[in-house]
Amino acid sequence: MTSPPTRSPRPSLRRRLLLLLLVPMGVLLVLDALLSYGVALTYSNRVHDQDLREDTQSLAMMVGNLQPGDELSPQARFLLEYDPDGRSYFSVRSRLHGLLAGNGTLPQPTQMPPIDARPILYDTRLAKRPLRAAAMQIEATREPGDSLVVSFAETLHDRHEQARDILLMATVMQTLLIVCVLSVVWFGVGRGLRVLEPLTARLAARSHELSPIDAADVPAEIQPLTRTIDALFGRLRNMLALHDRFIADAAHQLRTPLTGLSLHVEHALAESRPEAVNEALQHIQQLTRRAARTSAQLLALTRAQAPSLDTGESRLLDLARLVPDTVAQRVHEAIRAGVDLGYEGAPGTWPIIGDAASLGDLLDNLIDNAMRYAGRGSVVTVKLGGHADGSCCLSVEDNGPGVPAELLPRLSERFFRAAGNNEEGSGLGLAIVQRIAERHQARLTCSLIAPHGLRVEVCFPPLDAPRPPSSGDQDRHDDSA
């Protein structure tokens, strides 16, 4: 029987802050210990060097009249024998008679100091033991013309031991200080995190509310988090508004064809004559097509209105290849509808950054709108060209009845259809085109053609133009606010 997997502990902000402080403080403690030891050793050397000079001067005063075979005075012997560990060494040398006294053969300094000058300090070794020594030269009192070199040395043990004692005291104090600091930080972080409690309480008290949570009492350090949450709430509000709008639009647009379907089905069931049943089935077929087209248009509008997310679908496209291919796919449908559908394109390539599927929906809706409202026997022309500023323009022209000039600004509104037009439609074609154009930072314009007809033009910005956030996203945010 396998044991359940252990769950990793939940990350703690307080513990993370403490670790982030503990590691640098540990490094600083080690560096400070090294620095403290260096300073303590320097101080200890300075004190011991001063004592070494004074001891050498005292010894020189006591042995100034020493001759070969003489014994040291009791004062000099006491000075030399105070160290029971044997870590001190001395020698008294006569320039004429050699070594007069000493407890070891001390190496002499490389440069002899002048007579009665201050003792000089130098480093030397005796039996592989490092020593610190002081030496001075005095004039012999009993024998004129002779001089004595008095040397006094000691091992480095006392110096290092004193430096270690100082380091130990400093390290203990600094460690206690760091522990106190970390305790204060632990307590302070806990107290500081309490400022999040009002925000937590507000979020816990919500049920389905998606209003912004950023307020004046939110600390500046977590404002990026609250703003990110507010942006997420905004996208959710837009998606919910889009969902509600789709349901309302579907209910509004499908109610009529579904009601008609129900009536014609009842009529077909009530009639026994074949011609009446056949007529009802024809009406049912027309209404079914209308409902299917309306559903497809509603789905296309919903996709066009959805927030513009960076999904990697946008890429470099050549409209000089995309547009003719799309027009060619509609030629057979145009022939059946009795419409002369053609294409006129300027030579060269017309590159843009966009989504091929969305641009296909845009052109399909432009062609469908022109063919549907221009009517049988009309001419519909798809044109592709550019302007002097480098923008690429796609237009669809027809020689149909057109619309009154005052209605041109309203053609891209949802469910808007010009009065007096008997052609069935959902009024969503140009609304879909408008939304797709906005997502590509393109500009949609509608204009009349003399003597009659309508031109719908979509102009895409040049490739090197800056691409600001889609205005369609801003409109959707304003509509759902």
**pLDDT tens digits, 155-204:** 888 888 888 888 888 888 888 888 888 788 778 777 777 777 777 777 77
Region of residue 185 (phi > 0: left; psi between -120 and 50: alpha; otherwise: beta): alpha
First to last CA, the chain: 55
Domain edge (last residue) among 164, 193, 223: 164
Cβ(343)–Cβ(381) below 8 Å: yes
Cβ(186)–Cβ(14) below 8 Å: yes
Residue 322 predicted with pLDDT over 80: yes
Domain-located, residue 188:
no
pTM, rounded to two decimals = 0.44
Give the C-alpha separation, 89 to 83, whole Å: 10
If asked whether residues 36 and 153 sit together in one domain, one would say yes
pLDDT for res 73: 66
If asked whether residues 459 and 347 sit together in one domain, one would say yes
Q: For position 447, which CATH number holds?
A: 3.30.565.10
State which amino acid sits at residue 78: F
Domain edge (last residue) among 291, 307, 323: 307
Domain edge (last residue) among 307, 338, 368: 307
pLDDT band at residue 396 under the 50/70/90 scheme = very high
Looking at 271-350, list the stretches that DSSP marks H as alpha helix, in order from N- to C-terminal side.
274-305, 319-329, 331-337
If asked whether residues 297 and 219 sit together in one domain, one would say yes
If asked whether residues 278 and 326 sit together in one domain, one would say no
Cβ(99)–Cβ(93) below 8 Å: yes
Structural domain span for residue 320: 312-418+425-480
DSSP state of 204: H
Q: What is the mean pLDDT of residues 331-345?
A: 90
Residue 247 predicted with pLDDT over 90: no
Domain-located, residue 180:
no
Using DSSP, state whether 141 is helix, strand or coil. coil
List C-alpha distances in Å: 449 to 48, 375, 393: 108, 16, 17
If asked whether residues 369 and 470 sit together in one domain, one would say yes
Domain-located, residue 2:
no
Q: What is the mean pLDDT of residues 135-160?
A: 83
If asked whether residues 124 and 46 sit together in one domain, one would say yes
If asked whether residues 132 and 44 sit together in one domain, one would say yes
Q: For the residues of 8-64, what is the DSSP string, one character each?
A: PPPP-HHHHHHHHHHHHHHHHHHHHHHHHHHHHHHHHHHHHHHHHHHHHHHHHHHST
If asked whether residues 136 and 99 sit together in one domain, one would say yes
Beta strands 379-386 and 392-398, pairing class? antiparallel
If asked whether residues 345 and 440 sit together in one domain, one would say yes
Q: For position 92, which CATH number holds?
A: 3.30.450
- Lowest-confidence range among 43-47, 256-260, 454-458? 256-260
Structural domains counted in the chain:
3
If asked whether residues 274 and 387 sit together in one domain, one would say no
If asked whether residues 331 and 244 sit together in one domain, one would say no
Give the C-alpha separation, 288 to 360, whole Å: 24
Domain-located, residue 198:
no
Domain-located, residue 172:
no
Q: Which two tokens stand for residue 237?
A: 């509000």
Cβ(134)–Cβ(53) below 8 Å: yes
pLDDT band at residue 301 under the 50/70/90 scheme = low
**Closest to 267 (Cα-Cα) out of 252, 255, 282, 256:** 282
> Residue 224: in which H helix or E strand, if any?
helix 223-270
Domain-located, residue 196:
no
pLDDT band at residue 25 under the 50/70/90 scheme = confident
Give the C-alpha separation, 303 to 297, whole Å: 10
Average pLDDT, the chain: 77
Domain-located, residue 8:
no
Who's near 152: CB < 8 A, 6+ residues apart? 52, 55, 56, 59, 88, 89, 90, 133, 134, 135
Cβ(455)–Cβ(396) below 8 Å: yes
Domain-located, residue 237:
yes
If asked whether residues 363 and 473 sit together in one domain, one would say yes
